[in-house]
């Protein structure tokens, strides 16, 4: 009979035996062959008596997977080990890729088992307090296998999303500037005072812990055995402990445990999924001088979400002086045919850097050609990529302003157009055409569109 082997993908945690799972120790004891990076082999050397041991160097990950598969095909039980959790930046991924590319399936006689272990981010977090109590993500700064623009985009997104960020592979002998660049990206969205924990060789002989500010992060002693934990906007350090609040203070009084006004134990927050747009409408009622753009910034949401909240207002729950109705998606191009009848308009375009251009035009200046909306007259040319338009809203602010706002796929403002009032107010015919077009193009309520 053909011998049947087994591959055990074992996460050994930080390396100290007391932090290794029972199953990990059992898997190593069960193995005929133990394969791993030389540093990991040293961490468990007292468990390897009588084993065939195969040490591999850094960058030889695929060789480890190949060795494991070859020995398993000979009927041996192989323990392929990684520090931390073998499924988190570990050998489980490349091994499964190799096996599947080789024709192996889960029904194959060679059994594969993943034995999880304590990750570097969780073990390092335990040494500094409770920095991961709320939403977090991990990002490797190594560009050996991942293009740097991809890493930078992930850092940007994590920083914008206010995640606690665990940085793996932050620095090496050759890669000295990656942590500097990561710091620069994070500082675009985080306070320089943001707490950072730098843990080197956690739970090992040369363990070293530094609690610093984000502004000082890149100047610290950091290497390949370091995990960096960057706090979010709520993270604090007190009595030498780094803590990220879970959010109980949003609902309960910290000293009495009583629920705060407007909140209920066991129910979503008033700013939860079902209630936050009501909070937007209340904010617009209570802050009559604000704008929709300022409201979007206040809530940290795209403009389209604010417009949707306004669009769901009712006579009993208004959005202050604002009203909004969304143009039906299939009628969006039809709106362009009506704009020449709106007379004098003010086109407003905002750059990502915050610059605002306001152009006085006539509706007849608007022309769509291919995927571009062109505004052309003797004074200027403005070209807008209409293919980026996802939602168009008719927006009014009482009787003071009437126009449309167009948002892109991310819900951000693409551009807007406003009717221009003269000394005697809005042109009656232009305003009536605006209102007629609104009724014709917004036949379905925005709330219906939102929920369908």
- Smallest CA-to-CA distance from 64 within 94, 44, 27, 40 is with 94
Q: How far apart are CA 68 and CA 364, in angstroms?
A: 71
Question: Do residues 42 and 112 share a domain?
Answer: yes
Q: How far apart are CA 426 and CA 424, in angstroms?
A: 7
Q: What are phi and psi of 328, to 5 degrees?
A: -60, 140
- Looking at 60, 87, 118, the residue that finishes a domain is 118
Check: CB of residue 162 under 8 Å from CB of residue 245.
no
Question: Do residues 100 and 145 share a domain?
Answer: no
Check: CB of residue 110 under 8 Å from CB of residue 73.
yes
Q: The domain spanning residue 188 has which CATH number? A: 3.30.950.10
Question: Do residues 346 and 359 share a domain?
Answer: yes
Residue 51: helix, strand or coil by DSSP? Answer: coil
Structural domain including 353 reads 321-442
Check: CB of residue 241 under 8 Å from CB of residue 127.
no
Q: The domain spanning residue 109 has which CATH number? A: 3.40.1010.10
Check: CB of residue 79 under 8 Å from CB of residue 109.
no
| Per-residue model confidence (pLDDT) at position 452 | 34
Q: The domain spanning residue 376 has which CATH number? A: 3.40.1570.10
Q: Is residue 301 part of a domain?
A: no
C-alpha 400, offset from chain centre: 38
Q: Is residue 298 part of a domain?
A: no
Question: Do residues 344 and 231 share a domain?
Answer: no
Question: Do residues 171 and 239 share a domain?
Answer: yes
- Looking at 118, 149, 173, the residue that finishes a domain is 118
Q: Is residue 250 part of a domain?
A: no
243 forms bridges with which residues in the sheet?
A: 130, 236
Question: Do residues 332 and 436 share a domain?
Answer: yes
Question: Do residues 96 and 140 share a domain?
Answer: no
| Per-residue model confidence (pLDDT) at position 406 | 95
- Looking at 64, 83, 118, the residue that finishes a domain is 118
| Per-residue model confidence (pLDDT) at position 2 | 57
> How many CB atoms within 10 Å of residue 246?
12
**Distance in Å from the first CA to the final CA of the chain:** 59
| Per-residue model confidence (pLDDT) at position 25 | 96
Q: At what angle do helices 292-299 and 276-286 cross, to 10 degrees?
A: 130
Question: Do residues 180 and 152 share a domain?
Answer: yes
Q: Output DSSP code: residue 143.
A: -
Q: Is residue 1 part of a domain?
A: no
- Burial label, 327 (beta-carbon count in 10 A; 0-12, 13-18, 19+): buried
419 forms bridges with which residues in the sheet?
A: 345
Question: Do residues 137 and 113 share a domain?
Answer: no
Question: Do residues 113 and 169 share a domain?
Answer: no
Residue 368: helix, strand or coil by DSSP? Answer: strand
Q: Is residue 346 part of a domain?
A: yes
Residue 324: helix, strand or coil by DSSP? Answer: strand
Question: Do residues 111 and 131 share a domain?
Answer: no
Q: Is residue 350 part of a domain?
A: yes
Give the pair of three-digit tokens for residue 241: 């402990």
CB-side exposure of 341: number of CA atoms within 13 Å?
14
Residue 36: helix, strand or coil by DSSP? Answer: strand
Q: How far apart are CA 225 and CA 379, in angstroms?
A: 61
Max CA pair span of the chain: 98
Q: Is residue 292 part of a domain?
A: no
As averages over each run of 10 residues, the pLDDT of the chain (452 residues) reads 84 90 96 94 94 88 94 96 94 96 94 96 96 97 95 96 96 93 96 97 93 97 95 96 87 75 74 84 95 93 95 94 94 87 89 85 88 87 91 95 95 93 90 94 55 35
Q: Is residue 113 part of a domain?
A: yes
Question: Do residues 193 and 223 share a domain?
Answer: yes
The count of domains in the chain is: 3
Give the pair of three-digit tokens for residue 329: 């998606």
User: How many angstroms separate the Cα of 281 from the Cα of each of 164, 262, 346, 357, 396?
Assistant: 30, 16, 26, 28, 15
């Amino acid at each position: 009979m053909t011998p049947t082997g087994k591959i055990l993908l074992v996460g050994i945690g930080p390396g100290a035996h007391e932090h290794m799972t029972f199953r990990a120790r059992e898997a190593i004891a069960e193995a005929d062959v133990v394969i791993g990076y030389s540093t990991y082999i040293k961490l468990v050397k007292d468990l390897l008596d009588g084993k065939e041991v195969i040490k591999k160097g850094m960058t030889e990950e695929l060789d480890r997977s190949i060795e494991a598969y070859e020995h398993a095909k000979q009927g041996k039980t192989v323990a392929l080990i990684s520090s931390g959790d073998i499924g988190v930046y570990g050998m489980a991924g490349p091994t499964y890729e190799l096996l599947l590319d080789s024709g192996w399936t889960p029904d194959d006689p060679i059994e594969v088992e993943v034995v999880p272990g304590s990750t570097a981010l969780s073990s390092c977090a335990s040494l500094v307090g409770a920095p991961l109590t709320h939403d977090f993500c991990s990002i490797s700064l190594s560009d050996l296998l991942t293009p740097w623009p991809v890493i930078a985009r992930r850092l940007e997104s994590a920083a914008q999303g206010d995640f606690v960020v665990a940085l793996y592979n932050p620095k090496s002998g050759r890669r000295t500037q990656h942590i500097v660049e990561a710091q620069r990206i994070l500082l675009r969205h985080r306070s320089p005072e943001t707490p950072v924990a730098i843990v080197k060789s956690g739970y090992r002989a040369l363990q070293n812990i530094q609690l610093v500010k984000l502004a000082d992060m890149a100047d610290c002693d950091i290497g390949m055995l370091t995990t960096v934990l960057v706090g979010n906007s709520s993270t604090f350090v007190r009595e030498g402990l780094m803590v990220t609040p879970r959010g109980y203070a949003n609902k309960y009084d910290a000293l009495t445990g009583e629920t705060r006004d407007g909140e209920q134990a066991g129910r979503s927050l008033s700013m939860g999924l079902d209630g936050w747009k009501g909070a937007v409408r209340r904010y617009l009622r209570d802050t009559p001088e604000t704008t929709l753009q300022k409201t979007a910034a206040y809530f940290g949401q795209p403009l389209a979400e604010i417009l949707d909240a306004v669009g769901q207002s009712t006579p009993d729950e208004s959005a202050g002086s604002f009203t909004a109705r969304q143009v039906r998606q299939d009628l969006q191009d039809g709106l362009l045919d009506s704009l020449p009848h709106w007379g004098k308009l003010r086109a407003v375009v905002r750059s990502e850097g915050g610059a605002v251009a306001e152009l006085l035009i006539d509706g007849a200046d608007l022309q769509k050609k291919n995927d571009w909306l062109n505004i052309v007259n003797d004074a200027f040319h403005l070209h807008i990529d209409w293919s980026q338009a996802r939602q168009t809203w008719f927006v009014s602010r009482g009787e003071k302003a009437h126009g449309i706002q167009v948002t892109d796929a991310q819900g951000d403002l693409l551009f807007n157009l406003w009717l221009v009032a003269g000394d005697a107010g809005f042109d009656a015919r232009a305003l009536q055409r605006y209102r007629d077009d609104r009724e014709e193009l917004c036949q379905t309520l925005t709330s219906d569109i939102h929920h369908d």
